[in-house]
Amino acid sequence: MTLNDRLKGLIGLAKRGKYVVYGEKLPFNMKKKKVSLLFLASDAAKNSCSDLMSIVEKLEDTHPIAVIRLLSKEDLGDAIGSAPVAGLGILNSGIAKRIMELEEEINNGQKEQEL
C-alpha cells in the first residue's frame, strides 16, 4: 500500500465518520472555524482555489487551517466516494493531525528521491 493510498484511506475514514465537508458547505464551515485541514486538488483551477485560500488567509491569526495539495480532483473524489472535487475539509482535529503526519512522510520521501 502506497502512502497516497493510506492518505486516501484516512480521508475515507473521515468521510465515514461524517468529518468531511466539500462543495457549498466547505466555505461555510471554514468561516465557522470548524475545518482543521483543507485539501485542495493539485489539478484544481486557480479560480477554484482563490476563494478558499482567501478564507484561510483571513483566519490565519485566529484559526489556522493547514492546506495540502497532494491529490488530484479525481483522487479526492475517489477517497470520499463521489464525483471529482476541487477541495474538501476535514473537521476532526485528530484525523487532521494524522493526515498531516502522513503528508510529511510523503514529502520527506519525495525529497529523498530528489537527492
| Domains of the chain, first to last | 3-114 (3.30.1330.30)
Average pLDDT of the segment spanning 4-29: 93
- The reported pLDDT for the residue numbered 20 is 97
- The reported pLDDT for the residue numbered 115 is 44
**Eight-class DSSP state of 66:** E
The rounded distance, in Å, linking the Cα atoms of 55 and 95 is 21
Over residues 34-68, the pLDDT tens digits come to: 999 999 999 998 887 899 999 999 999 999 999 99
Half-sphere exposure of 66 (CA within 13 A, CB side): 17
Cβ within 8 Å of residue 100, ≥6 positions away = 37, 66, 68
For residue 114, pLDDT over 90 is answered with no
Over residues 65-105, the pLDDT tens digits come to: 999 998 999 999 999 999 999 999 999 999 999 999 998 88
